[in-house]
Structure 1
């Protein structure tokens, strides 16, 4: 029998149960479909990284690439090679679920089976339930149940005797022109494993270093996980048996990723709408010149501007700074979280719908485990606390590198360096945010 392996968010050969299941069925055609529904709205960094990741995968697997509607392309391809099965890792996202159901129906009409094996998660959404068989709405009890549920060991490596089928007509991977100056991380399974093992040697320091954007204290694995160049099972297996705050905290970060995936699975509407709908009633301001200043990293608040400039230069932003910049947009500029979430997804290489949009809702006070809306980050004190030496600000706002206080430059320093005055007064806007919050509580 012949099978098709339809790659999506699993661009690797090791620990890929769907790929192993396809190969067990017989000679396998590896397939990737450039779906306009996903490709067109993606920002340039994500497009470029995806292409690089596919090129890396092609060094190990002869992936055929097609462009178009997967419902048509997958069925046509399976019929062309005489496949009896199409294998995938299950997709739990709002669009992915609808797409896969449509593909499954079309394949069934053609006498072909869609076989789902595994997922991008250690524990797939809808698996972890409370004693009443309900999904969790709060992270801490979810994380305990998630750990108790456990996950299977990583699957094996790609077999040496793998047999491949090939398509005669495939499309070339597109060249994606990035804005001048942007440098993306190296893509692919080999890069993911190298980065992971380099971080694993430093995981003991993670709990202390992860909140300091001026040091290399995070794993930088989010983009590798986004595209499935490494599976969280592999990471969790390597962490097994490691004690200490660093390893424990890192396991919790994996649990957060899976919690948000579960929340989005249960409430697909929250990709765009408020999890707590009362926050939709709050008074917000339309995006204007201040929003553009936020996007471009020229708000006059150094830690905010450093983060927004890092985002545009690298397709990544430190997680602590993501929270600071998000709080500034929602609570200092009074712009709804959806505008910021869309901007992040345009620039983030690791842009993941569940993690990104529910992270924004956390900051906006409308999500699960929400940071209370009345908790308004002071961008200056946040900068001093988490970037005490101002190394991060100096790197990304280089005009402030030599001023006396990069976190709060004087008017004279701003004038001399060309760095702007603050677009708003934080103290006044904090009170404005609290007043607007009181209006929806009344």
Structure 2
């Protein structure tokens, strides 16, 4: 009798540890085929940094599975049923996707599979608590973070699943009878950024280093971009090289304000996933529709200012350092993300979605829910938003969070010889602005007043 076969379709879960889908597949069949689909609909907007990180993760996953990862390319609604048919699978196992595209894709795949009598089995998700599960006592979604985070913590999460590469008996992809052609994982695309080491092993090693050396200082150092005060786990969470459930289980072995602060950051990630799940339109549009009345700049002058912001040539050192870090590392410190976002929206009066799109094109950790709603938080148009009248002053933000100027000097070499916090106001130097560095492109004080006047039109439309 031929062995029964299941397909394990990897997406945002590129690991072998803590894999509930492995347990479901092993329970359903004698052997499993490991599958990844290079989906043009996802690869096209990814950007080179994120694509390269994905390719590295796939190579490492293939090694962990003994070279038995089948990689195919195409529309999943076409190629996944063809793979299942080729191996005679009765089930295809996935971690549920709650993003706008992922849900639609999976519904199409599920329908195509059902035509062949094959079941799409969803087990787990990329989150500790799946979007849609945390609700108010009387039902319905939370619209602000703090009560969500309390309910999320009260809901709790499962312990990590005890799996490894041996949990399933993996079939050799070359044994499949027909189906879509296997493709080689693409070579890395040209990118100027220095990227983190991809894959599960690198992610777990970085996490262990953070637990050993960084977690206890997280609360005091996480807002200081010149320090290595953050965990660096965001790219690994993006592709599921490490599951947040694993992080939460390890954090439970520690105590203190820093541990609570880090757990809260995980809750923010899960909150934004929940918001996007319930309001998929918020990926491209204002969550708060009142902000549709906010007058914003468009046209050639706005485009030119946007390009200066992208290039890190605004004349405000902390902003320019952040935008250059984005190009140099395909990543930006979270505090600085808020500063540069506030500058684009509230000093230059350019729509938040232009900045969000630029971030998604360059970030190695670009996550749709976290990125779009982080931008909306700063723009004031999102759920649990920073009030619109809270406008980040790029000078005082720089002096407070980069007090010695080390972060700016690292990323803005034109200012490398300016000592201390004077680097944040180079126009006040006795010798003038150092050669090659631009003067401030706008007067922050004046633009702050302009931003508040524009916001009055939002308030007027509501009254």
Relative to the length of structure 1, the TM-score reads 0.98
Q: How big is the shift at 1:135?
A: 1.1
The equivalent residue for 1:173 is 185
CA distance in 1, matches of 2:85, 2:36: 16
Q: Is the 8 A contact 1:414 1:420 kept in 2?
A: no
1:245 matches 2:257: yes
Q: Is the 8 A contact 1:183 1:314 kept in 2?
A: yes
Instruction: Provide the secondary structure at the position in 2 that maps to 1:215.
Output: coil
**5+ residue gaps, structure 2:** 175-180
Instruction: Provide the secondary structure at the position in 1 that maps to 2:424.
Output: coil
The equivalent residue for 2:177 is none
Instruction: Provide the secondary structure at the position in 1 that maps to 2:226.
Output: coil
The equivalent residue for 1:365 is 380
Instruction: State how 1:38-437 maps to structure 2 within 5 Å.
Output: 38-61=42-65, 62-158=68-164, 160=166, 162-168=168-174, 169-180=181-192, 182-201=193-212, 202-286=214-298, 287-404=302-419, 405-410=422-427, 415-437=433-455
Per-residue deviation, residues 295-335 of structure 1 (Å, max 9, x unmatched): 01111100000000000111100000000000000000000
Q: How big is the shift at 1:414?
A: 5.8
CA distance in 1, matches of 2:30, 2:240: 24
Q: Which moved more, 1:137-146 or 1:157-166?
A: 157-166
Q: How big is the shift at 1:401?
A: 1.3
Q: Is the 8 A contact 1:341 1:357 kept in 2?
A: yes
Query: Which of structure 1's runs of 4+ aligned residues deviate more than 3 A?
Result: 159-162, 411-416
CA distance in 1, matches of 2:54, 2:191: 16
Q: Which moved more, 1:416-425 or 1:373-382?
A: 416-425
Q: How big is the shift at 1:280?
A: 1.3
CA distance in 1, matches of 2:342, 2:153: 30
CA distance in 2, matches of 1:300, 1:251: 36
Q: How big is the shift at 1:241?
A: 4.0
Q: How big is the shift at 1:162?
A: 3.4
CA distance in 1, matches of 2:271, 2:328: 29
The equivalent residue for 2:178 is none
Count of paired positions: 441
CA distance in 2, matches of 1:222, 1:91: 18
CA distance in 1, matches of 2:98, 2:160: 20
CA distance in 2, matches of 1:248, 1:161: 33
Q: Is the 8 A contact 2:415 2:434 kept in 1?
A: no
CA distance in 2, matches of 1:264, 1:406: 39
Instruction: Provide the secondary structure at the position in 2 that maps to 1:410.
Output: helix
CA distance in 2, matches of 1:19, 1:315: 32
Instruction: Provide the secondary structure at the position in 2 that maps to 1:106.
Output: helix
CA distance in 2, matches of 1:84, 1:220: 39
CA distance in 2, matches of 1:250, 1:176: 32
Q: Is the 8 A contact 1:20 1:158 kept in 2?
A: no
Q: Is the 8 A contact 1:27 1:162 kept in 2?
A: yes
Q: Is the 8 A contact 2:426 2:433 kept in 1?
A: no
Per-residue deviation, residues 250-274 of structure 1 (Å, max 9, x unmatched): 0000000000000001100000011
Per-residue deviation, residues 271-300 of structure 1 (Å, max 9, x unmatched): 001110110111100241111010011111
CA distance in 2, matches of 1:23, 1:391: 52
User: 1:55–1:218: structure 2 CA closer, same or farther, 3 Å change rule?
Assistant: same
CA distance in 2, matches of 1:216, 1:127: 34
User: 1:116–1:427: structure 2 CA closer, same or farther, 3 Å change rule?
Assistant: same
Q: Is the 8 A contact 1:411 1:421 kept in 2?
A: no
CA distance in 1, matches of 2:394, 2:274: 31
Q: Is the 8 A contact 2:26 2:167 kept in 1?
A: no
Instruction: Provide the secondary structure at the position in 2 that maps to 1:219.
Output: coil
Q: How big is the shift at 1:71?
A: 0.3
Per-residue deviation, residues 91-132 of structure 1 (Å, max 9, x unmatched): 000000000011001101111000000000000001111111
The equivalent residue for 1:26 is 30
Q: How big is the shift at 1:22?
A: 1.6
RMSD of Structure 2 on Structure 1 (CA): 1.2
